[in-house]
Chain A
């Protein structure tokens, strides 16, 4: 109980809340570290997943990449990306941001598989009769994809985006090990300097942010799902991606 008092004191100290190395700055860094990789991953994985789901080509390749990806610990991916890319990033004149860029590349790599597999699975499982009906109505392939397959597959696709988002927000915390900013700094620096009030406070904010991300994307998923689909079969949850 005494300890929890020190945590409350930590939150009450304005020096811990404001400025670049306070909660305000670290939360901002964490958001940037998460949003950029998630956006890039969506830009890459959504069109490729949709094309594979629609055409049925290269499906095995995608599934295999996703399976192999799941067995590699995210800490290992972050360490490898940092060590292999940092020198290159520095050499093109981005020394200041080298850790951040390397971490964001690793986070992008982690975010692509869940979006890719869910998009592919969602689109390839759209009822063939619906697609045939579209063809019969004279729709072009791209129209079938856009106006039939994507709307029907949307709930499954959004589950993939939610999984990726939660994973990126969680793993961005580990970036602090590799010298990035973000909320992980409180935990890593706090452990190094035995400031346990800061460790606990940092963990609390990270946990709240992760749970909020899960709820936010769950909410979007329910709002965006077409009403006709609600009535139908239950939305299949994806292969569970473990905590990070």
Chain B
């Protein structure tokens, strides 16, 4: 380990980490919005579930480098759009499955109680079903985020920087192990921090669960 190199290149390491976070945040945010809209569509038209899950399942089986490579001829290298289209399509299977599972986990009596209290369908969704489904939805966000942080390393191969740049371009191509270790440890650290962050977020968003635990 060359600690001096790390000290001299803190700017570069910070820059690559920011690129990594940036690509991840966009993928998860866009993926979540699309999955949420798809989940609402499926609530209205159940028959859509099979085809949508089927298509995203097939996309999920395609290796990331291949999915980037499909897009490269059209959107080019060094274009974040190339990476984001692929990354977003990976998040959809995980997020959509968990949003649907979360909504299905709401007990019948709870829904009937909400109807009995005169909630409209959308009031019931926002005030009753989504809060109850929250833990399962957050579980999906955790898996998706950890997965995407790992995959963003591969975007270095299409010229997008991120921590993969430290692992491959500086580390492997110049045979400099310190950079590879810094990039790898950085990616694992980001994944752990993101995962913990969602746990804290869930804790903050579900005060009733906390209260129950204290009772």
Q: Are A207 and B172 in contact (CB under 8 A)?
A: no
Is A71's CB within 8 Å of the partner chain B? Answer: yes
Q: Pick the interface stretch among A119-127, A134-142, A146-154, A167-175.
A: A167-175
Q: Beyond A71-B192, A199-B72, A211-B58, is A243–B64 a contact (Cβ under 8 Å)?
A: yes
**Total number of residue pairs linking A and B with CB closer than 8 Å:** 137
Q: Are A191 and B62 in contact (CB under 8 A)?
A: no
Looking at chain A's contact residues, the main secondary structure is helix
With a cutoff of 8 Å between Cβ atoms, the chain B residues found around residue A222 in the complex are none
With a cutoff of 8 Å between Cβ atoms, the chain B residues found around residue A82 in the complex are 172
With a cutoff of 8 Å between Cβ atoms, the chain A residues found around residue B184 in the complex are 72-73, 76, 79-80
Residue among A79, A187, A197 with the highest chain B CB neighbour number at 10 A: A79
Q: Are A170 and B72 in contact (CB under 8 A)?
A: no
Is B22's CB within 8 Å of the partner chain A? Answer: no
A91 to B154, CA, bound (A): 30
Q: Pick the interface stretch among B37-45, B104-112, B143-151, B204-212.
A: B143-151
Q: Are B150 and A174 in contact (CB under 8 A)?
A: no
Chain B, residues 42-76, CB within 8 Å of chain A (1/0): the string is 00000000000000001011111111011011100
Q: Beyond A75-B167, A207-B70, is A191–B157 a contact (Cβ under 8 Å)?
A: yes
Looking at chain B's contact residues, the main secondary structure is helix
Q: Are A191 and B158 in contact (CB under 8 A)?
A: yes
With a cutoff of 8 Å between Cβ atoms, the chain A residues found around residue B60 in the complex are 243
Q: Pick the interface stretch among B1-9, B116-124, B130-138, B175-183.
A: B175-183
Smallest CB–CB gap between B186 and chain A, Å?
9
With a cutoff of 8 Å between Cβ atoms, the chain B residues found around residue A74 in the complex are 150
Is B30's CB within 8 Å of the partner chain A? Answer: no
Q: Are B153 and A187 in contact (CB under 8 A)?
A: no
Is B94's CB within 8 Å of the partner chain A? Answer: yes
Using CB atoms, name the residue of chain A closest to B171: A79
Q: Are A243 and B151 in contact (CB under 8 A)?
A: yes
- Which residues of chain A in 195-242 are interfacial with respect to chain B, using CB atoms and an 8 Å cutoff? 196-197, 199-200, 202-204, 206-207, 210-211, 214, 240, 242
Is A178's CB within 8 Å of the partner chain B? Answer: yes
The interface on chain B, measured as residues whose beta carbon lies within 8 A of the other chain's beta carbons, has a size of 43
Is B168's CB within 8 Å of the partner chain A? Answer: yes
Q: Are B172 and A200 in contact (CB under 8 A)?
A: no
Q: Are A73 and B180 in contact (CB under 8 A)?
A: no
Chain A, residues 159-184, CB within 8 Å of chain B (1/0): the string is 00000001001110110011000001
Q: Are B63 and A173 in contact (CB under 8 A)?
A: yes
Smallest CB–CB gap between A214 and chain B, Å?
5
Residue among B62, B94, B184 with the highest chain A CB neighbour number at 10 A: B62
Q: Beyond A71-B191, A243-B61, A244-B63, is A200–B147 a contact (Cβ under 8 Å)?
A: no
Is A188's CB within 8 Å of the partner chain B? Answer: yes
Smallest CB–CB gap between B142 and chain A, Å?
11
A82 to B64, CA, bound (A): 20
Partner of A83, one of B67, B143, B149, B172: B172
Smallest CB–CB gap between B97 and chain A, Å?
8
Q: Are B180 and A199 in contact (CB under 8 A)?
A: no
Q: Beyond A177-B172, A178-B172, is A211–B63 a contact (Cβ under 8 Å)?
A: no
Taking beta carbons and an 8 Å cutoff, which residues of A are in contact with B? 3, 70-76, 79-80, 82-84, 166, 169-171, 173-174, 177-178, 184, 187-188, 190-191, 196-197, 199-200, 202-204, 206-207, 210-211, 214, 240, 242-244
The 7 closest A-B pairs by CB, nearest first: A242-B147, A203-B69, A76-B184, A170-B63, A196-B73, A73-B150, A206-B66
Q: List 13 A-B contacts (CB under 8 A).
A: A72-B188, A75-B154, A75-B168, A76-B183, A79-B171, A79-B172, A83-B180, A166-B61, A191-B77, A203-B65, A206-B69, A207-B66, A242-B148
